Chains A and B, each alone.
Chain A
Amino acid sequence: MKLTSLTLAASLIGGAALAGEVAPKEVAYNEDGAIEASLTGVAGDAANGALIVGNKSKGNCVACHEITALADVPFHGEVGPMLDGAGERWSEAELRGLIANAKMTFEGTVMPAFYKVDGFIRPGDAYTGKAGQEPLPPILTAQEIEDVVAFLATLKE
């Protein structure tokens, strides 16, 4: 009994998807790096998406991007382009692809992939500096990605 729940927990941590979710390794990127279908089938929650984008231990997107709509969150970075108007520049499918794995859109970009679980060099256990076992948990869950997409889609100039 205990053993099965442990195994289940382990497989969840390993990045396996919940029922109805597209697992990280099953994501279909089109040739431009976009993901057409929702990862969960559940509409994204833009308000929660905004929290994830600003939260240091979640997306922490503001570490690299400035976003005027999140002006109340302190310290926005300059490593990536300002995201105002991102909802006009990109379709939802493109935004989904950019967050899940931006390297499919921009080859070699410094932007991390938020829905990728293996193929890393010296994968670690989050920010502990210790070794991590691949597949790692993705940095954001499928639904969190949908939430972030919903938030970015509201960014119009």
Chain B
Amino acid sequence: MKFKAMTAIAALVAAPLSAVADPDDDTLVVNEEIEMVTKAAAPDHLSDTLDEVMSGWHFRSDETQSLQMDDFDNPAMVFVDQALEKWEEVEGAAGKSCASCHDDVEESMKGVRAVYPKWNDEKEAVYTMAMQINDCRETGMQAEKWKYTGGNMAAMEALISVQSRGMPVNVAIDGPAEAAWEMGKELYYTRTGQLELSCANCHEDNYGNMIRADHLSQGQINGFPTYRLKNAKINTVHARFKGCVRDTRAETYSPGSDEFVALELYVASRGNGLSVEGPSVRN
């Protein structure tokens, strides 16, 4: 009797306190139709550091994963429907909607998400999707800009992302975009804040490990925008970056800043070859 109890205690004590944390080998097929590439050979520019790049989907629980496998279960899809209404809605002094210039979103936006951020020749700057959307609103529609990380913006990014689901991320990092890409890379490896941690410390050196209750992924953005169960809304890339930098006890950069645009280009390029998954579901 006594012996048994002691063995039980010993077994309890010996049980690992952290969950088994390797990324899993499940396959992601959405709506039994769109086969996602969620693991791919690392792009050339990463060949010194990583063999394989992996979607954040592999690091989530089975329950969270399953929510992304069918649009009826994906809580982000409500917002995609709302954005579809916005797509048709005339706003601003020019009397136009997105549809006035771009017609059918399924046709005109196919492949767009896969190549953003990208160099904009006319503006001579790297443009994120959010910047392009706001440029359309201001110049094309003469309507108010949307907040960079706000609900309308996140939903519209989700709608546009849906049109590229399953296509490989393929952002250009050379030519005129190279300077921004280099800046983004520098930021990725800079150890910020009182905790002196860089993106790479968590998402390159420690992906697959638990950090307290969180299973660290590679911090890829092929699944963005992403619906988070934690805050029950769609989250933009820059809002996520801001949260991660804040967690190093640092002063964050602002959403839409040159720094975060450069960082987005760089992080996107680390996912070249993975499928566009947005809107994904995360905890």
Residues of A within 8 A of B (CB): 56, 60, 62-64, 66-68, 71, 74-79, 103, 110, 112-113, 116, 120-132, 136, 139
Given A63-B212, A78-B209, A127-B249, also A121-B191 (CB < 8 A): yes
Q: Is the CB of B212 within 8 A of A71?
A: no
Q: Which residues of A contact B174 (CB under 8 A)?
A: none
Give the docked Cα–Cα distance between A130 and B190 (Å). Answer: 18
Given A75-B18, A77-B212, A79-B209, also A122-B197 (CB < 8 A): no
Q: Whole-angstrom distance from the CB of B229 to the nearest CB of chain A? A: 17
* Chain B 220-262 interface mask (CB, 8 Å, partner A; 1/0): 0000000000000000000000100111111110000000000
- Cross-chain contact of B194 among A56, A66, A67, A136 (Cβ < 8 A): A136
Report, as a range, how many residues of chain B touch the other chain: 20 to 34
Tell yes or no: B62 within 8 A of A by CB.
Answer: no
Q: Is the CB of A123 within 8 A of B250?
A: yes
Interface centre among A63, A67, A75, A113 (most CB of B within 10 A): A75
Do most interface residues of chain A lie in helix, strand or loop, or is the interface mixed? loop
Q: Whole-angstrom distance from the CB of A60 to the nearest CB of chain B? A: 7
Give the docked Cα–Cα distance between A130 and B252 (Å). Answer: 7
Q: Is the CB of B16 within 8 A of A66?
A: yes
- Cross-chain contact of B251 among A60, A68, A76, A132 (Cβ < 8 A): A132
Q: Is the CB of A112 within 8 A of B250?
A: no
Q: Is the CB of A110 within 8 A of B206?
A: yes
- Cross-chain contact of A62 among B209, B212, B246, B250 (Cβ < 8 A): B212
Q: Whole-angstrom distance from the CB of A145 to the nearest CB of chain B? A: 15
Q: Which residues of B contact A103 (CB under 8 A)?
A: 196
Given A62-B212, A77-B211, A129-B242, also A121-B250 (CB < 8 A): yes
Q: Whole-angstrom distance from the CB of A96 to the nearest CB of chain B? A: 19
